[in-house]
Amino acid sequence: MIRPLVIFLAVTKNWIRSRSGLFFSIMFPVLLLLVFGAIFGGAGAGSASTLFVQNLDKNSDGTTTQLSSAFVEALNSTKTFAIKDVPVDVDAKVWARDRLGPLGGNIRIVTISEGFERDLINGTLKVKVGISYNLLDTTYQYLVLYGNLNETQKMVYQQGLVQLQQYNETLPDAKTSLILAFDAADQSAAVIKSIVINVANAFNYGIIGATNVIEFKEESVVGSSYGAVDYYVPGIIAAFIMTNGIIALTSITSEFKRRGIIKRLSITPLTKFDWIIGNILSQTLLSLMLTAIIIVVGWIAFRVQAIPDALTIILIFLGSVMFSGLGMVLGGLVKDVEAASALGNAIAFPMMFLSGTYFPMEFMPSYLQSVARVLPLTYFSEGLRYALIYKYTEGVLTNMAVVSALAVAFIILGSVVTRWKEK
Amino acid sequence: MVGLAMTEIVVEVKSLVKQYGRLMAVDDISFDLHDGEVFAFLGPNGAGKTTTVEILECIRSLTGGSAKVFGYDVTKREDVKEIKKRIGVLPQEFSALDKLSVKENIDLIGGMYQKKLDTREVIKLLDLEDKTKERFENLSGGLKQRVGVAAALVNDPQLVFLDEPTTGLDPKARREVWSVIHNLKRLGKTVFLTTHYMEEAQILADRIAIINKGKIATIGSPQDLISRHGGRKTLVVRKGSKELAKTLQDKYGDTVLDHGGDVVVKVDDVKEMWQLLATLTDMKMNKDIEIQTPTIEDVFLKVVGARITEEGELK
């Protein structure tokens, strides 16, 4: 067992002394965390998105109806938006553009149609139930994930879901009482849409009279204790453990191969497995260092409380093994240094953005979500998020199982394609 | 060579073949290495030198024939372990970890062996003491090669392979490496050297195998090769005359007066050379003379029919 340790020490020292290696493996992710955190409002206050609301639902005396006002108030209570009222008699788009100015950013308008209150009271049940169903579904998942739901409660929820779904199908189409308008280029559209719909859901449900659920839902919409930066901390750790494995290790091993260093070592009693184990140990140490640094920076800059437990460390170890195994596979397949680094980049970058690392996968179209489900990083970053932030052990273990299986597979494949003897 | 039969055989190669598709990289070669000798493979690039050496180092498979090192078969897994413990290698274009120091790099290779020398001892042997803490990337080409040799010696091997140890080095660095190889011989190591430099083989090797296109063209000690293939010895009388040329032509044949005015006489052997010198003494000759004996370069030219450029190509 001494030889892998000798390799581990040598490659680790060689890496730590290389400035470009340190920059890309440690400094770059730290910078990225600071930039992302700053942009997406992790630093406490965070600026609210401007949301224009045109309320066309008026009483005969010209005042807004009670329920439509309450809806606007509900939107406001999410603290996500800076709500601006749009007068009834103007073209909302033109009016909003004028208010924002030519460089004022994206326009988001919610139009509350005339008859909003009437429809709600008279029961355009399709809208209500349809939305309610979505709400109940998400609520159910939320409770399963984070709540303390007992088995009976779970059953009741599930039965309720099925019944609502069946009921939903029997109803005639209803008319739309809310219209959301976005700029085509608005990247926040999906997020804002989901918030508005969630508020509408909660609101709807309130009208029906299921008070418990409203309270709960309002709480979750108004803001759990988790912010965007909580999302980025595990995401960036996962993404850079991935790039360190795929890009850095791939180019290091192909460089070692090109310069004959691997050949020189293969002449000694060192075995292929010793070599691979030594490199994986080195990558694991690097991953733990990266995790520690990102967590500390996340805490100092954004007060993100990500406390690694034993499970986190095991997961990080497995993730490092998985991605250094994948790096070994790529490095073994490609001899040319440039080609190896190009291949590493070509795999790492799409994976980084498709795996729900920087933004939730739910924002992506469903076909991309299916792609994400076959990417190793998806499971690693999800597991790490559960482990570091949400402390949801069952979720960690499920993802860990996938990561472990892939780790074993990549290591086996990596040791097959690593050539220890010339042809 | 006297007493050769009594020395131990360290490497034994019989009818070795290495084939890549239709290319015969090594084409049925046989040779032995004896304990304590410096053996040189002399040949151009692509002759099969490195291929043969790497088969013996157990990092390349063979197509046919057999190769044994210390009696162990290079094709047998268990034997390979024994061979690897006992050999030291300076590979072609040796390289090490850039950011590690001289000592750390030698320790890295040393760490692969159970039995090894003290790194300081090896560093002293290669005269690298004042470079111990220097990073590999900051060393000159000659120093890098010395680190390579140090790494090759760290497991105290009996047999050392030096694959093109001086290729790409300047003349000064080359001479430094030569003195290192002399020391290896003094230490009693068996050395397998490959080179495309005629002078290097002639100066360093006890025996030379000239290899070209995967075949051994000839094999023997430098003196042996020269006397077998080197051709005739030459005597030059500077600023000679037509009369002198005529006299010597009549007596020894093969004499010319070249356009520089020198008389050039070729004789078959040492005996004839002494007769020629006696003739010149009798003539009370007082001009400058020069005796030229053939070199390995002449042998190579004769055997292969071409010379090797500085870069290792045939011309």
Q: How far is CA A216 from CA A223, A230, A266, in A?
A: 11, 22, 63
State phi, psi for B212 to the nearest 5 degrees.
Answer: -150, 135
Among A223, A250, A272, the domain-final residue is: A223
Ranges of beta strands (E only) in A134-231 are 178-182
Range from A33-37, A102-106, B78-82, B195-199 carrying the lowest mean pLDDT? A102-106
Q: What is the pLDDT of residues A4-35, one digit of tens each?
A: 999 999 999 999 998 888 888 888 899 988 88
Domain end (from A223, A257, A283): A223
Q: In chain B, how many domains are there?
A: 2
Which of B69, B95, B156, B167 would best serve as a mutation to test chain A binding (most A beta carbons within 10 A)?
B95
User: Lowest mean pLDDT: which of A85-94, A317-326, B158-167?
Assistant: A85-94
**CB-CB neighbours of A105 under 10 Å:** 12
Q: Verify that B117 and B264 share a domain, yes or no.
A: no
User: Could you tell me the pLDDT band of residue A128, with boundaries at 50, 70 and 90?
Assistant: very low
Could B104 and A10 be called an inter-chain contact, meaning their C-beta atoms sit closer than 8 Å? yes
Class of residue A136 by CB neighbours under 10 A (exposed 0-12, middle 13-18, buried 19+) = buried
The answer for A 365-384 residues in CB contact with B (under 8 A) is none
The answer on B120 and B54 residing in a single domain is yes
A35 in a structural domain = yes
What is the nearest CA distance from B218 to chain A, expressed in angstroms? 28
Domain that holds residue B52: 4-228
Contacts of B211 (CB under 8 A, 6+ apart): B29, B41, B42, B43, B47, B48, B49, B52, B217
Same domain, A202 and A72: yes
Report d(CA A158, CA A170) in Å as an integer.
Answer: 19
Per-residue pLDDT for B154 more than 90? yes
Looking at the structure, tell me whether residues A333 and A313 fall in a common domain: yes
Q: Residue B52 contacts by C-beta under 8 Å, 6 or more apart in sequence?
A: B13, B16, B18, B26, B29, B41, B211
- The domain boundary, picked from A203, A223, A243, lies at A223
Same domain, A33 and A80: no
Q: What is the domain-level CATH number for residue B42?
A: 3.40.50.300
> DSSP strand E in chain B: where?
9-20, 23-34, 38-42, 64-69, 72-73, 87-90, 159-163, 190-195, 207-212, 215-220, 233-237, 255-257, 263-267, 289-292
B138: distance to nearest CA of chain A, Å? 14
**Calpha distance A269→B87 (Å, rounded):** 10
Q: What is the pLDDT of residue B214?
A: 96
Same domain (yes/no): B138, B262: no
* CB < 8 Å to B92, chain A: 260
What's the mean pLDDT in A230-244? 90
Burial B171-185 (b: 16+ CB within 10 A, else e): eebbebbbebbeebb
- Summarize pLDDT for A33-85 with one digit per residue, the tens: 888 887 775 434 345 677 888 888 888 888 888 878 888 887 777 767 788 88
Same domain, yes or no: A136 and A212: yes
Please indicate, yes or no, whether residues B213 and B251 belong to a single structural domain of this protein.
no
Dmax (CA) for chain A in angstroms is 93
Q: Is residue B185 part of a domain?
A: yes
The pLDDT value recorded for residue B70 is: 96
Q: Could you read off the pLDDT of B209-231 as tens digits, one per residue?
A: 999 999 999 999 999 999 899 88
- The sign one gets for the Cα dihedral A181, A186, A191, A192 is negative
Contacts 24+ apart (CB under 8 A), B116-125: B116/B154, B116/B155, B116/B156, B117/B153, B117/B154, B117/B155, B117/B156, B119/B154, B122/B150, B122/B153, B122/B154, B123/B150, B125/B150, B125/B153, B125/B183
Q: Does A267 touch chain B (CB under 8 A)?
A: yes
Same domain, B52 and B150: yes
Overall average pLDDT of the A120-128 stretch: 54
SS3 B138: helix
Q: Which two tokens stand for residue B206?
A: 């006890």
State whether B95 and B74 are in the same domain: yes
For strands A108-112 and A49-55, give the pairing: parallel
How high does pLDDT run on average in chain A?
A: 78
* Domain presence at residue A256: yes
**CB neighbourhood size of B281 (10 A):** 9
Residue A60 lies in a domain: yes
Asked whether residue A124 carries a pLDDT value surpassing 70, the answer given is: no
Are A194 and A273 members of one domain?
Answer: no
- Do residues A60 and A141 share a domain? yes
Does B205 share its domain with B245?
no
Domain boundary among B205, B228, B251: B228
Contact B150, B99 (CB under 8 A): no
* Domain match, A380 and A284 both: yes
Specify if A422 maps to a domain.
no
Tell me which chain B residues have a C-beta less than 8 angstroms from the C-beta of A20: none
A290 and A399 share one domain: yes
Over residues B86-143, the pLDDT tens digits come to: 999 999 989 999 999 999 999 999 999 998 999 999 999 899 999 999 999 999 999 9
Shared domain for B207 and B110, answered yes or no, is yes
Confidence of residue A224 (pLDDT cuts 50, 70, 90): very low
pLDDT tens column, A353-362: 888 887 777 7
Q: Does A218 score more than 60 pLDDT?
A: no
Residue B304 within any structural domain of the chain:
no
Q: Which residues contact A150 (CB under 8 A, 6 or more apart)?
A: none
Phi-psi label, residue A117: left if phi above 0, alpha if psi -120 to 50, beta otherwise: alpha
Residues A219 and A289 in one domain: no
Where does a domain end: B211, B228, B245? B228
* CA A324 – CA A344 distance, rounded (Å): 12
User: pLDDT by residue (tens digit) across A164-185?
Assistant: 566 555 554 455 567 777 765 6
Residue A258 confidence (pLDDT)? 87
Q: A200 and A131 in contact (C-beta within 8 Å)?
A: yes
> Mind listing the pLDDT tens digit for each residue in A332-389?
888 787 888 888 889 998 998 888 887 777 778 888 888 888 999 999 999 998 898 8
State residue A219's pLDDT score. 34
Residue closest to A188 by CA, chosen among A111, A108, A131, A112: A108
Q: How many angstroms separate the CA of residue B89 from the nearest CA in chain A? A: 8
Strand partners, A133: none
Closest chain A residue to B92, measured at CA:
A260
Give the model's pLDDT for residue B198. Answer: 94
Do A272 and A400 belong to one domain? yes
End-to-end Cα spacing for chain A: 28
Residue B207: pLDDT over 70: yes
Task: Examine the domain organization and report whether B221 and B279 are in the same domain.
Answer: no
- Same domain flag for A291 and A307: yes
Q: Is residue B238 part of a domain?
A: yes
In a domain, A423, yes or no: no
- Confidence (pLDDT) at B136: 97
**The pLDDT value given to residue A231:** 79
Nearest one of B252, B202, B240 to B223, comparing CA atoms:
B202
Total domains in chain A come to 2
In a domain, A102, yes or no: yes
Q: B195 and B167, same structural domain?
A: yes
- Choose from A268, A273, A275, A423 for mutation: most chain B CBs within 10 A: A268
Domain with A181 in it = 49-223
For residue B252, tell me if it sits in a domain: yes
pLDDT at residue A136 greater than cutoff 50: no
CB < 8 Å to A277, chain B: none
**CA atoms within a 13 Å half-sphere pointing along the CA-CB vector of A135:** 28
B210 lies in the same domain as B96 = yes
Q: What is the pLDDT of residues A184-217, one digit of tens each?
A: 566 666 677 777 777 776 666 666 554 333 333 3
Picking from B23, B26, B81, B99 by the largest number of A CB atoms within 10 A of its own CB, the best residue to mutate is B99
pLDDT at A402 over 90: yes
B261: left (phi over 0), alpha (psi -120 to 50) or beta: left
At A74 the pLDDT is: 78
What is residue A221's predicted lDDT score, i.e. its pLDDT? 32
pLDDT over threshold 60, residue B20: yes
Q: SS3 of B72, please?
A: strand
CA distances from A363 to A199, A202, A209, A353 (A): 18, 21, 31, 12
A255 with A147, same domain: the answer is: no
Extract the tokens encoding A298. 């996340």
- What's the CATH number where B253 sits? 3.30.70
Q: Is the pLDDT of residue A271 over 60?
A: yes
